[in-house]
Amino acid sequence: MAMLDYVYTGWGAFWVTLFMFVPFALMAYWVIRRKSLVDTGPTQLQPSEFAPIEGVWLTFAFIFFVVANLASLKYIPWAAASGATGGEPEVQIDFTAKSWAYDISNRQIETGKPVRFSGRASDTQHGFAVYHPDGRVLFTMLMMPGTTKPTSVVYTFKEPGKYKVRCLEYCGIAHHAMQDELTVVKSN
């Protein structure tokens, strides 16, 4: 598990939120207490006295923003999708999502081979989410009817097993039943 992967767990999200919330809560407490109990009149500071403080906190905020964005680059889906191909030819799987079912061109996939899923919706918006056998969402797609090009994603399966496919966009009364399955087998 990479260091930043912990952030994407339930407890990781809790600690990040707490890390962000506590300084703001302390600052709000300090300002409210100071202005309501200690110094109730208007401030005696001149605007020129704020300039150095503003420069320091803006610099800190900018550095934090840049570092956080650079650290999150590996979690961008297109980066993982382009890295997943590795120069190998892709296996093409086309599918159509329609009211409460998928028409999938091939439901058996080999491990280690990049697969391009290309999908369309025929009637209303639909989702195409592939779940690992342990329940994790591996990727998801959104298809809208009437688009000229299919929605596509490239993914390389690493482990054999039965992978659930579910619609994650509400598509009508039987949305909950819109499921399918992909079988991933070990490659030769």
Look at residue 77 in the predicted model and tell me its pLDDT.
63
Look at residue 159 in the predicted model and tell me its pLDDT.
94
Look at residue 107 in the predicted model and tell me its pLDDT.
93
Look at residue 140 in the predicted model and tell me its pLDDT.
94
Contacts of residues 98-103 at CB distance under 8 Å and 24 or more positions apart, as own/partner, are: 98/122, 98/123, 98/126, 99/123, 99/124, 99/171, 99/172, 99/174, 100/167, 100/171, 100/172, 100/174, 100/175, 100/177, 100/178, 101/178, 101/180, 102/128, 102/165, 102/178, 102/180
pLDDT of 75 strictly over 80: no
Look at residue 58 in the predicted model and tell me its pLDDT.
86
Domain 89-185 has CATH 2.60.40.420: yes
Residue ranges of the chain assigned to CATH 2.60.40.420: 89-185
pTM of the model: 0.57
Structure tokens at 126: 């639909």
